[in-house]
Structure formats: C-alpha cells, structure tokens
Chain A
C-alpha cells in the first residue's frame, strides 16, 4: 500500500473540505474495504479523510412511529445486536449479523457495507485490467464465473456484495446523501446502479458526497426475514441471499417484497415474485409459485446456472419461514 496522509476532521464540513482540498483523496469509515483496496493497490491516494470523528453519524435511533434512523458509522455488530432493530426490522439485524466474521463486524460500518465494492476475484486483483477498473473486458465472461451474476449483468458481471443492502431495499429504506448542494434523499432501490450505465461504479453517490443517514420506514404489520446460502457455513460470501417481507391481512398477502442478493450487480428486487403472492394465503403453493417467478429471466453464465435453483429454494424457504 502506498503511503498517504490521514486527515481526521470532526465535522462533515471539514471532512468535505479536506477531501476537496486534495485531488484523489478518499473518505474512510471503518476502513475494512478501503484497506483491502489500498493493500491490493486498487486505490492509491494521497489522503484518507477519516469520517469516524464526525459527530452524530453513529446512532441507531428507533423513531416513535416505528421507523429507524441509522447513522452510517454504526458497526454491523451494533446494528445486529440492537434490540430495537431486532424487534422491528429483523431481516436487517439478521443480514448484518451474518456478514463476514465477528472481528470484521466489530469495525465494519453499515455505511461501508452499503458502499463497499464487489468481491469479484478479477476486480480484486490489480493484474486483471477489467471493466470495473477502466479496462475493456469482463474476465468473468468465458472465465471463472461460478460466483457471478445471473440477473442484470452486462457488460460486467460482478455481484453486489452487500448483505445489508438486500433487506434495506426490501424495506423501502431511504439514504440521505450530503454533498456540495446540501442533503438529498434517495430510495435505496434507486441508489444502486447496474453496469450498463457505468461498470466502474455500483451506486449514484457523487464525488464529495457522504452517506449521512439510513432511514428505514416503520414496518408495522410486516414480517421480514433474511437468509443466504454459502459454501462454507461461516466466513463466506453468499452464493445467493434473499430478504423477504410480507404484510398479511385476513390471512391473505396484501403486500410483499422479495429482494435477492449475490445474484446481480445490484440488490435484485423481483416484482414478479412479489406479485405471485399478492392476494394469496402464504403457504407452500404460493411460496413455490413466488420462488419460480423469482428466477424468470435469469441469464446464467457458463458456471453459475446452479444459482437459479438456489434462488428458488431460498425464496421458498424464507417465505415459508414467515408463514409459520
């Protein structure tokens, strides 16, 4: 890792000034994904601007109406263990609690989890000049693509790595981004961007902008669950992940959200699967129908077709978990 200077501001204004002041400077929160990038020389920067000293960005604040406001510097461990989150937004607590390892969760922030770059093994090595690094080829195409996207790929096929993004999109979360022109609010479902627009980025955060808050609406009447399937039982990235949420009234599903992780360059919402549930009782039949609908349009590469079956199993099982 090339050396750099470490700027430690105590306010957001200072942070933005310190960033603007030095071309090529980058923000840092927990630093987990950033240190990985620095060590692999994927990021070479003259200055890190550490956001951890910025006040008021770490609180997890359940609101009177049941909504949540989460500071992006809250660690994954803090979100996972927070009694309020566990009570009202269980899928989010589960997703944060399943990520990485205990050691990582104690430092990694939820903001960093949303903004981390893909784990694609081509992207993560300097030697592969891939599309995500300004090159002109996605090595996964015709290459080693067992962990790559089955939805929404092209021209690059890396999957979005965030566990937490999956339930946040399902829950209709809003992200507050603060830049030069003041704060703006973006729906999590719009925040993440696929490679067809620009393969070098995964979201619409603008240069100099800081994610300052995650707002999750109240989930009264909703039940939600997150689960994923992996090769290793721990310390592994999901092969597929799913957050499912339903609001049942009078024994019938009124609303549903089904969002998949690790299968697309963005958290992948399956409206088709949601529609398969509306107006039905949540049971084995409707869960199976939703599971099948979830994989309509899947376009696997040479080695990742198995993910189609895994998505179906996972969607069906998480839905049935909500039924019981």
Chain B
C-alpha cells in the first residue's frame, strides 16, 4: 500500500489527453503513462459493462451455503489446533507444562512458545493439535502455565503518568522510534503527510475566534465474523495454507521466512473470506503467530492442521483500532476562514505503535495556512492494534469535525457554510450540494436543541478524507480465451467481500465486448499472477489496470484471428455486444464465439503486468456525510434515522457493490459511534467483554435509512481511472452522528461511544448550563 511517487524520468512514457473530473466540470489532463499502457477510461469513454449494477458472481454460492470459507474446509486426516493464551497482562513465564495434554488420547502435536515475557493477556503461550475440536479444547485446559506476574498498565491515561509500570524497558522499545521516548510515551511525531504548515501559534494569534476541545475514542475490535485462522498441509517440502486473510502474498512470504523455506514451496489459497477490515493483513495477526504455529503443528503431526481462533481470542490478539485522546485547537477569522489547526493526540495501540490520528487535521482543510499535527504513541499492556478501516482517520475526524462544529457554533455560522468556506477540494464542493439536498439540510435546527418534547431530532454533517493508494507495478493478471468462446481471468488477490472478483470479470467483459456472465473470474490463489494485499482501499485500483491490459492483449490477439475473416486490418476492429466489428463500418461483424472458433490454438493466453500509476485529477478521495438522529432526552437513547454518504472513488467498476461498501461503512461507523467499546478491567487488566454479547455490534433494529451516493470522478492515474472505496466512507461517520446529536439536543459529547449514560449526563449538564 505504498503510494506511487511520480514516475522516474528515464522510463519511456506515452502521453494521453484525458477528460477528467466530475461530469459537471470536466477538465483535460495530460498524463504520461508507462510505455505499453493504454488510454485510461475517462468522461468520454462509452462503457457498456463498467459502472453498471452487477450482482456479485459468487452470490449464488454464498446465499446457498456452498461457498467454502477457510473455516469450512476439512480434509482427510485433518487435525484441529487450539492455542493457550496468556491469562495475565504482564509476567515472566516460569514454566509451561504440557505433559498432561500430551498424554490425552487424541492429541497428536504440541507447541510451546520460546518467549518468556508476557506483555498482554492473550499472548501466544502454547498450542495443541488433536483429532477433534472437542479433544483439542480438553487438551489446552490440561496445559499448566506458571507465571511470575509483573506490574502492568492497561489504561491510556494511567500509562502516561510518571512512574507507571513500563510496558517496555528503554532498550526493548520495538521498531526504531525516531521520536523521543519517555516512559511509555513515544512522541511527538509530526507526520510526513500534512503534518506541518506555517506557524500554528501565529495562526492562533491571528484568529478572531478559537476553540479547543479534547475528544476520546475507545478501542474498537475489528470483529470479522470469520475469525482468523488457517489450515496448513505439508506434502513433502510443499506447504499449502488455506488462510482467512486479506493478503495471501504476506502469508506466503511470512511463512516462508518464519519456516526458512523457499517462497516457491508455499501456496496460499483464499477462495472466500469472511471479513477482515484490516486485521488480516499480516502473515498471522499482530498479536499472535497462529499461522506459524499451525504449520509447525502440521509438520510435527504429519497431518494437516486446522487452527481457527475462537471469538474470545479474536478480540484479544488479532488487532484492534487504537484508543485515542485528542486535543484540537482551531483558529478562524470572523468570516470563518481558518487560520490555524493544531491536533495533538495520544493514542494507544497496546504493545504496538501506530496510534496516530492526525490524518484529517493535516489534510482535510489543506488551504489552512498554519497547521501542526503532533502524535504520540502510548504503550499499554493490551493487545496490539492493527489497521482498521481508514486507520486513525475516523478517530481523527471525530475530533477535527466535532471541533469544526464547535467553531461554527461559536461563530454563529452554519456548519456547512464553515466547511464550504475552507474547502480545498472541487469534488467535495459538488458533494456538499448533493448531500445537503439528500438529507434536507434546511430542516436542521437553527438553534441546537430547539425542538420541544423529550424526543428531539437533529441533523449534522462531517467530512472525511482519504488518499489514492495503488500498487504501481509487479501486479499481474492472465486472461484466457478458449476456442469455444469461454473466457477466464486469473488473478492472485483475494476477494474479502468487496466484490473484487466480480469487478475483475466486468473489466474483462468491457474490454472484450462481452457480458459479465461470459467471463469466469478466478481469484484467491497465489499460483496465479501476482496480487496485492487488500489494505488502503487499493485492491481494485491496483489490480484492475493489469486485468484490463491482459484483456486488451487477448483482444488484440483475437482481432488478429478475426481480421482476415472480416477483410479488415486488426487495428481497425472493435468489440461490443458480443461481436467483433470494423469500427468504421459496424455492420461488418462476426460473433465473438465465431471468431474464437477460428483460433489456431486451443487457447489465447495473455499475461500482463500493471504499469505504473501516473498523474491523477486528485490525489485525495473526497467524502462527506450527513446524518439525522432522534435523541430521547429522558433515556439518552439515540436513534439514527438517516445517513447520507457522498463519496468519490474514481470511476466505480461496479456501482452496485461500490454502494454496498459505502452503506457498510456507514453502518460500521454508526456501530462504533453508538455501541462499540473494548473494555479491559481497570484492576485486573483482562477484557470483560470478549464476545458478541457485551461487545455490541449494531443490530437490525438499530438500522437507519442508509443512502449511498457515488459522485463519479474520472481520475486517471491508471487505465481504469479506478480509486478506492472501502475505507473513505467510514471516516466522517463518528463526527456526523455526534454533530447531529448536538443539533438535536445542544449537548456535545466528546467521548465515544454515545451510550445512554454519557448522553444523559451531557444533556443534563447542558440543561443546567
């Protein structure tokens, strides 16, 4: 998920003039694609399949229960793995006694950790493989672990205090932090992207109005419904791993390295995957090495081992979104023009780093002359964080966009007008109009909380920002046209539920002039052309250009077959509607299948590699959200009535599944805003709600009207003009809901989740004030 810098000068390029931007304000952009790349789809492209509403091709398998996820796969002789996890947050392991477990009939292999330091409750300690899951569960209870317990700290603010127990001694701090380390605190770090402009003190001094508030977002767990896990199977020196992963390539590389074997001897398969949201980008996961353990158990037992975590483990050690304590200071002129943004955050990613939240503050209002982002990581004795759907950005936007609302209130300005005043993106300007109309912005309370009665309605909005991430080269695809006219596409990335598989078939169909159903996509196997890890909303825009190139090459080869049949030159042909025809005289045509039947060989195979990313219309992805809520001011219950999300993802390949992702992000965001909270006991340091009963995820009866609007932007950058959509629509949601609650009640809640206890307390406080 590295962002491509502009191409290095020596590489030969081809220049295209591209019609980019929103259809209402088209612009011409000169781009310099790598030699061999084809002209990107743009506003002038006549697309027949792409941008359509295609139900996903794997839908029938999934709705009938036939799709086999990693969790569903079994094979002859397979054993069941189960892990023992640290029960205390900090300790030295004195002894691990597995003798009783080894003696249990049905147990075939045992693993124990070599690590001795326990830094969080949930860390890997031991594992067994047995002939049934029930026996494996019996066996782990027979493993006896002796701990020498140590002082620990699990609370963000307590960990920052002087004299707090140290998660790491000074010489043990992981990574190579360039920032100062003091106790458990690393920082401040000023992020490279947007972290510093001008002089924030000067900007605040120049302001007519300033606001400053501190916001807190607790830890959320990813809670994918398919837990993390693998099946590891050895055949000689060949290792096959069925993995519930977002990044098969990382699993392959990680296991080859861990086991000291050649990468070529490792195959990873992820046919269907039950959700990840960022937690499944590692070879195992941030807080556990279950893949490596499964491989070792399988080797030891001489049998395939399936090791799927249970729900309790999933909460403890597979990653989470860091808690964040954020102070935002804004300065503005009377007319609302921002003079300064100062974002100072302390976040805890448990025993890991990476808890920064300054992305929105540094990049959203890019015209603000003075900006400073200072991020701190605070170590705690808790499971390490992992990227979670726009890492740090939903938290950061909660702080910034709540502060913007507070500023608007102080200025006596419409919050939307304040945003317009400071907007730097032409795309978001268009989105404001679309979103405001869809929610009925004019219906909002002019004065917060002004409606009578105990149940009060309000409307709020917030912005989110994201970036165009795309892997520029090394990604491959293969397209095959068979002599019977059937078409396949092969690609070594995984479909994590985004509809990626279907989108690839659509790209091939578009290029070959076919229908989507004419193309069979094969994804989820590392033996196919190199794929990408699905992180940073980069899968479609990294892979689709390679797929399009491969399809284009296959088409060129097929045109060579068709040209003599049509008495024309291959370069004069085009394909659409299941036909190949002479572009100038479309009546001269031949059916795709007829042309294929004349192929000299059984199959046309075209393999292509993605070309580098190049100039785009925008490097940022704009999004804005509007929310309407009803707050019961006597119970503190919030009912979300409607959320409108307007998002840019370049040219959407499949509008249906693109909308689904936007809807899903809104729902997950509302769930975070209202309910979700990983709770570690303040005295014992272990999680009290490691389940789906007390770790609460939004239910059907909490649902609201979810309106997803794709504001299509021809963005260039690659030959499909695609950008990403998985993450951006969750960035604004927390703030949009909090701002709507303020508009409804006049109470500003700075701490999530917005549960009745907090909402009631703030309403009562606002009433007293």
Contacts and interface: CB of A to CB of B under 8 A. Distances in A.
Do A and B share a direct contact in the complex (Cβ within 8 angstroms)? yes
Interface of A: 1-3, 41, 119, 121-122, 125, 127-128, 139, 142-144, 146, 229, 231-237, 239, 303-304, 306, 309-310, 313-314
B138 A2 contact: yes
Interface string B80-91: 000000010000
Contacts of A304: 757
Contacts of B424: none
A306 B698 CA distance: 22
Contact of B756 (A119, A233, A239): A239
B309 to A, nearest CB: 15
A232 B87 contact: no
Nearest to B121: A127
B635 A310 contact: yes
A229 B141 contact: no
B684 A128 contact: yes
B602 interface: no
B698 A229 contact: no
Interface in B730-769: 755-757, 760-761, 764
Contact of A229 (B675, B681, B756): B756
B756 A139 contact: no
Nearest to A314: B635
Contacts of B660: none
B684 A121 contact: no
Interface in B648-671: none
Contacts of B635: 229, 310, 313-314
Contacts of A309: 634, 760, 764
Interface of B: 87, 134, 137-138, 141, 634-637, 639, 674-675, 679, 681-684, 686, 688-690, 693-694, 696, 698-702, 755-757, 760-761, 764
Given A122-B688, A127-B686, A310-B635, A232 B756 contact: no
Contacts of B684: 128, 139, 143
Contacts of A231: 637, 674-675, 696, 755-756
Secondary structure dominating the interface of B: loop
Across the A-B interface, give the 9 residue pairs with the lowest CB-CB distance, nearest first: A234-B701, A233-B701, A306-B757, A121-B688, A313-B634, A234-B699, A235-B699, A233-B702, A232-B699
A125 B636 CA distance: 29
Contacts of A144: 679, 681-682, 688
A303 B757 contact: yes
A144 B689 CA distance: 10
Given A121-B694, A122-B688, A143-B681, A306 B702 contact: no
B675 A139 contact: no
B632 to A, nearest CB: 8
Contacts of A2: 138
Contacts of A1: 134, 137
Contacts of B755: 231
Contacts of B137: 1
Contacts of A125: 686, 688, 690
Contacts of A237: 693
Given A3-B134, A231-B696, A41 B702 contact: no
B689 A234 contact: no
Given A231-B756, A310-B756, A41 B141 contact: yes
Given A121-B694, A309-B760, 13 more contacts: A41-B141, A122-B681, A128-B684, A143-B682, A232-B675, A232-B696, A232-B701, A233-B639, A235-B699, A239-B756, A306-B756, A309-B764, A313-B634
Given A143-B682, A234-B702, A306 B637 contact: no
B107 to A, nearest CB: 15
Nearest to A128: B684
Contacts of B686: 125, 127
15 contacts: A1-B134, A1-B137, A2-B138, A41-B141, A122-B688, A142-B683, A143-B683, A144-B681, A231-B696, A232-B698, A237-B693, A309-B634, A309-B760, A310-B635, A313-B634
B733 to A, nearest CB: 17
B685 to A, nearest CB: 11
A127 B84 CA distance: 13
B634 to A, nearest CB: 4
Contacts of B701: 232-235
A303 B751 CA distance: 15
Nearest to B759: A306
B699 A306 contact: no
Nearest to B638: A231
A253 B702 CA distance: 37
A245 to B, nearest CB: 22
A177 B59 CA distance: 52
Contacts of B637: 229, 231
Contacts of A306: 636, 756-757, 760-761
Contacts of B675: 231-232
B696 A234 contact: no
A146 B764 CA distance: 18
A122 B701 CA distance: 28
Contacts of B688: 121-122, 125, 144
A121 B756 contact: no
A257 to B, nearest CB: 23
A225 B394 CA distance: 41
Contacts of A303: 757
- Most A Cβ at <10 Å: residue of B639, B675, B694, B761: B694
Contacts of B700: 234
Contacts of B141: 41
Contact of A127 (B87, B674, B683, B698): B87
A241 B761 CA distance: 20
A121 B138 CA distance: 23
A241 to B, nearest CB: 13
A121 B134 CA distance: 24
A111 to B, nearest CB: 22
Contacts of A310: 635-636, 756, 760
A146 B699 CA distance: 21
Contacts of A143: 681-684
B134 A146 contact: no
